[in-house]
Amino acid sequence: MVAWEYLTLLLDKLAGHLVPVRFLLFAMIGAFGVVTHLAVLWLAVYPFGVGFPTGQAVATVTAMTGNFCLNNLFTYRDKRLRGGTLVTGLLSFYAVCGIGAAANVGIASHLFDANRSWWLAGLGGAAIGAVWNYAMSSVFIWRSGAATPARRVQGSTASVSAKPAALTYALD
């Protein structure tokens, strides 16, 4: 966790004045989710011989679940969901990301029709999806009052897990 906090401080110094650090962390985990998605899709379709639509669905759910868990653990660790809110948060994350995926495809298709550049269209769609997913996750899933603060859960060890003031500023 010390290394993670150091990374967030570095990101804040490098880009915190341009883009919220929490968004950068969310996007990094999202990039890991893309790799996870492609790996699971390949495994499902080729070694296991599952049809592409089924493999795509399995890969999507796997990547979204992984992204949710990693975001809950790292990106929103100060607002971490536990117990019943973890399950409802995951289901809400599926819904938010499903809408983000639809927006991604819609925007990318429109951009492709307009300029025929597949990579530009793909990036545009991914950017819209990422911003949507981040904004809606921040508002509906990891909102301020949604999680049990770590200091109440951990009791007397709160001072050990407390974030430095600079990190609190960087993440908010």
39-80 residue pLDDT tens: 999 999 999 999 998 998 999 999 999 999 999 999 998 899
Residue with tokens 């769609």: 125
Q: In terms of DSSP H, where are the helices of the chain?
A: 2-15, 21-45, 52-70, 84-115, 118-136, 150-154, 158-161, 165-171
The predicted pLDDT at position 155 comes to 38
Q: How confident is the model at residue 21 (pLDDT cuts 50, 70, 90)?
A: confident
129: exposed, middle or buried (Cβ count in 10 Å: 0-12, 13-18, 19+):
buried
Are 52 and 30 contacting, i.e. CB atoms less than 8 angstroms apart? no
The predicted pLDDT at position 12 comes to 84
